[in-house]
Amino acid sequence: MADPTETRVAVYIDFDNIVISQYDAVHGRGSFIKEKARAAGGKTAEKLHAANVDIGAVLDYASSFGAVAISRAYADWAAPANTRYQKQLVDRAVDLVQLFNTSGTKNGADIRLAIDVVEDLFRLQDVSHIVIVAGDSDYIPLAQRARRLGRTVIGIGVEGSTSASFKNAVDEFSYYADLTDPSAEPVAEPQPAVAATTSGELAADPRKVARSALVRALKVSQTTDDGWVNASPLKQQIKRLDTSFDEKKIGFKSFTDYLKAEKSLIELEESGLVRRVRLRDRGK
């Protein structure tokens, strides 16, 4: 059951905007339209992969503000450039809102997204933070309205394609590149689903899954240059990223015992009842 005192977050992604902006950031301004990359044909398929959008990094960052109650992505999901992300988004419980490209360039995401945000703000009074993943100046009135309604607005956009006035209209802004791991390989294209599970398939190692969530939680929770994070809210952040996390299910009596067992990965500092944690190789 959700903690009624926990901060609740709503995430709205203009997915077409981010895919196009990321492609242009990697391959040159205007490349997406000039190369007709929306169809993902020929060499543009490889170039789209090189300009992959890591939606997990965006959602992990959004969860650092509280429990994600709403997450929606707006795009023409029939376009091959966007279709390749459907499984990744659905696996992260993101609602896919279908928009049809009627003008050849714009799909009306800004209007539909803005209507949904305003409706949600009046319908869900407990949502305190709004995350807008876009960067278009068209979202300035929406950000201003949400702030007038007492919500904290966080903006995320791609450097080189984000309006300066949009950055000034939100309470907090981050560039997409700052949320991702530059050393990480682009996410592989999804493979066709297997009709039936074979006897040779194994379930994911729960300890490995927990370790991954711990690392991600520490990365999004860091607020100081030295990387230290209070252990008390850390478990809550881990559960936002992986709702199945339970240290008892992987053989530990307490969360502190689990942290002590991961000392090859983290540093644990204890002073009385206060415990702080940080990643060992923070620069890697």
Could you tell me what percent of the chain has a pLDDT over 70?
Answer: 87
Question: Tell me, what's the pLDDT at 4?
Answer: 59
Q: What pLDDT is stored for residue 102 in this prediction?
A: 56
Single pTM value for the model: 0.74
- Say how far apart CA 47 and CA 156 lie, in whole Å: 23
Tokens of 165: 């006035």
Q: Give average pLDDT by consecutive 10-residue segment, the chain, 284 residues.
A: 72 94 94 93 93 92 90 94 92 91 62 93 93 92 94 94 92 91 52 42 75 88 82 84 86 89 89 85 61
Domains of the chain: 8-179 (3.40.50.1010), 206-279 (3.30.420.610)
